[in-house]
Structure 1
Amino acid sequence: MTTIAYKGGVIAYDSRQTRSGAIVSDDVPKCQVVDGVSFFLSGAVCDEKALIAAYFGTPSPVAVECSGYVVDGGKLMMVGHDDKTGIWRQDLDPSNPDAIGSGAPYALAAMDMGASAEDAVRAAMKRDIYTGGKVRTLIIDEGMADAKTNPAAITA
Structure 2
Amino acid sequence: MTTIAYKDGVIAYDGRVTRGGTIVYDDFDKMRERDGAAFFGAGATGEINELIGAYFGEEIVGECEASVLVLHSGSLTLIGYTDGKLWKAPVLLDRPYAIGSGTDHAYTAFDMGATAYQAIEMAAKRDTGTGGKIRTLTVTKPAE
In the alignment, which residue of structure 2 is the partner of 1:153?
none
- 1:48 and 1:99 map into 2 onto residues whose CA distance is 16
> Is the Cα contact below 8 Å between 2:42 and 2:66 reproduced in 1?
yes
- 2:122 and 2:42 map into 1 onto residues whose CA distance is 18
State whether structure 2 residue 75 is matched by structure 1 residue 75: yes
> Is the Cα contact below 8 Å between 1:10 and 1:137 reproduced in 2?
yes
> Is the Cα contact below 8 Å between 2:51 and 2:68 reproduced in 1?
no
Q: Secondary structure at the match of 1:141?
A: coil
Size of the aligned set, in residue pairs, is 142
TM-score of the aligned structures, taking structure 1 as reference length = 0.87
- 2:23 and 2:95 map into 1 onto residues whose CA distance is 31
- 1:94 and 1:28 map into 2 onto residues whose CA distance is 26
In the alignment, which residue of structure 2 is the partner of 1:148?
none
In the alignment, which residue of structure 1 is the partner of 2:88?
89
> Is the Cα contact below 8 Å between 1:42 and 1:100 reproduced in 2?
yes
In the alignment, which residue of structure 2 is the partner of 1:32?
32
Counterpart of 1:117, as a letter, is A
State whether structure 2 residue 113 is matched by structure 1 residue 124: no
In the alignment, which residue of structure 1 is the partner of 2:52?
52
Q: Secondary structure at the match of 2:140?
A: helix
> Is the Cα contact below 8 Å between 2:48 and 2:68 reproduced in 1?
no
User: 1:101-137 CA deviation, whole Å, 9 max, x = no partner?
Assistant: 1111111110111000000000011111111111100
Shift of 1:21: 1.3
- 1:28 and 1:65 map into 2 onto residues whose CA distance is 20
Shift of 1:61: 2.3
Shift of 1:44: 1.1
Q: Secondary structure at the match of 2:136?
A: strand
Let me know the Cα RMSD of the aligned residues.
1.3
Query: Which runs of structure 2 are paired with 1:114-153 in the superposition (5 Å)?
Result: 114-141=113-140
- 1:31 and 1:131 map into 2 onto residues whose CA distance is 15
**Unmatched 5+ stretches in structure 1:** 145-156
Percent identity between the two aligned chains: 47
Q: Write out the 4+ residue segments of structure 1 that deviate beyond 3 Å after TM superposition.
A: none
Shift of 1:83: 3.0
> Is the Cα contact below 8 Å between 1:71 and 1:77 reproduced in 2?
yes
